[in-house]
Amino acid sequence: MGRLTTVIIAAAAAIVILAGVLLFMLNNNSEHDAEQMNKDLNSMPLPSANGAMPAGSPAGAALRGQSLVVVSWGGAYTKSQIEAYHKPWEAKTGAKINSVDYSGGVAEIKAQVEAGNVNWDVVDMEIADAQRACDEGLLEKIDAGLLPPAPDGTPAVQDFVPNGITPCAVTSIVFGHIIAYDSTKFGASPPRTLADFFNLTAFPGKRGLRKTSPTINLEMALRADGVAGDKVYATLSTRAGIDRAFAKLDTIKNQVVWWEAGAQPVQLLADGEVTMTSAYNGRIFDAQVNEKKPFVIIWDGELLELDVFGITKGTKHLNLARDFISFATDTQRLADQARWIAYGPARRSSLPLVGKSALSGVDMRPNMPNAPENAANAIQVDFQWWADHQEELNQRWNAWLAK
């Protein structure tokens, strides 16, 4: 039986039931109620051929007037989400999104859940943090079966990148942790490799590094110290390997300017406070292309990571949050976000739909962090490894920072 036939039968059944109620009312002299029911019957919207209810129908307007708090990283990244996800979802549902910025981690989520005072509904998270939060019972479970399939019918679980759907999270983007530098600060021999970031003699100047977590910093340190990509986590699994990573970071620690929010590395470069910095590739692309900044990305040693949506445990808007995530991670929406910032969509079906930048007209595909030419020497962050080791390394990281 085809979908259209099914929809027609369902609509006809609904009309028959309402008509029966109408006749019952007439036979029982409920003239006023019957008249109202007749009006409702005549004005009842029917499903379209694809089974969707019209926008003005009671089902389509069920979310109207509700509000959702969506937490993300701010700057150009949040703007890409607002344009690709928030605005069209608000137009579709009539609900409103309150956008809040944060600097990552799970501390604020944990505090809300433990206090029983949850005011964050959907949180954009790095996948390692999401896995840890899930393990600690801080996130709601997400049924992958509720996510829309690809346009050709491929189920979501087969359409997303590997590890793109976990018990408590759904991936939206693939992004790159890269090194960027200001081209005006170096002459004819600019830095070209990750190792150059740690070479203060050949490439003098302050360095920018993220303060909030040892994640990425330890991997970059080992790779710059000569550890092969496929050996990084095996090395970090030993005491000697961790010591080696911190020793490498010691070589530049006195020259580091620490950043926390994703927009800060761009500002540090623009203000001349640093000559080189770790950063998210999309932020640097935005500054290069849309703000015409003289910044250059070093793709060597790139660390690829998945960014996901999670739902805070105990939210009062669970169904609203699920609806938003289902909408925001469909094929078209993920392709749309890639037009606003240079992060790769997490669905395979989205990639062919990625076009030119909505702001500059630049072709976005060559600027994706997972483009073959950019990811030639990249590794993916092992989120499960970090979920198992984050707590102990956070303690060492904080102690090292305090020295």
Q: Which residues pair with 257 in a beta bridge?
A: 208
Report the pLDDT value the prediction gives residue 290, as an integer from 0 to 100: 87
Q: Please give the CATH architecture assigned to the domain spanning 70-172+308-353.
A: 3-Layer(aba) Sandwich (3.40)
Give the model's confidence band at 252: pLDDT under 50 very low, under 70 low, under 90 confident, else very high. Answer: very high
The CATH number assigned to the domain with range 175-304+368-402 reads 3.40.190.10
The pLDDT mean for the chain works out to 87
Q: Across 17-21, 268-272, 380-384, which has the greatest mean pLDDT?
A: 268-272
Report the pLDDT value the prediction gives residue 34, as an integer from 0 to 100: 39
Report the pLDDT value the prediction gives residue 342, as an integer from 0 to 100: 94
User: pLDDT of 257-301, one tens digit each?
Assistant: 999 988 999 999 999 999 999 999 999 998 999 899 999 999 999
Task: Give whole-number Cα distances, 232 to 117, 184, 220, 235, 301, in Å.
Answer: 40, 33, 9, 5, 11
User: pLDDT of 102-123, one tens digit each?
Assistant: 989 999 999 999 999 999 999 9
Ramachandran region of residue 104, left (φ > 0), alpha (ψ -120 to 50) or beta? left
Report the pLDDT value the prediction gives residue 64, as an integer from 0 to 100: 85
Contact 197, 206 (CB under 8 A): no
Report the pLDDT value the prediction gives residue 131, as an integer from 0 to 100: 93
- What are the structural domain ranges in the chain? 3-43, 70-172+308-353, 175-304+368-402
Q: Which of 26-40, 166-180, 197-211 has the lowest mean pLDDT?
A: 26-40
Average pLDDT on 347-364 reads 92
Residue 250 confidence (pLDDT) above 80: yes
Give the model's confidence band at 372: pLDDT under 50 very low, under 70 low, under 90 confident, else very high. Answer: confident
Give the model's confidence band at 36: pLDDT under 50 very low, under 70 low, under 90 confident, else very high. Answer: very low
Residue 43 confidence (pLDDT) above 70: no
Residue 365 confidence (pLDDT) above 60: yes
Tell me the C-alpha distance between 374 and 300, whole Å: 8
Query: How much of the chain, in percent, has pLDDT values that exceed 90?
Result: 76
Tell me the C-alpha distance between 328 and 97, whole Å: 13
70-172+308-353 and 175-304+368-402 agree in CATH topology: yes
Residue 47 confidence (pLDDT) above 80: no
Report the pLDDT value the prediction gives residue 61, as an integer from 0 to 100: 58
Tell me the C-alpha distance between 226 and 232, whole Å: 10
Residue 11 confidence (pLDDT) above 70: no
Tell me the C-alpha distance between 336 and 334, whole Å: 5
Tell me the C-alpha distance between 378 and 175, whole Å: 11
Report the pLDDT value the prediction gives residue 75, as an integer from 0 to 100: 86
The structure tokens 């997490």 sit at 346
Average pLDDT on 366-385 reads 90
- Per the model's pLDDT, the better-predicted residue between 74 and 28 turns out to be 74
User: pLDDT of 309-354, one tens digit each?
Assistant: 999 999 999 999 999 999 999 999 999 999 999 999 999 999 889 9
Residue 163 confidence (pLDDT) above 80: yes
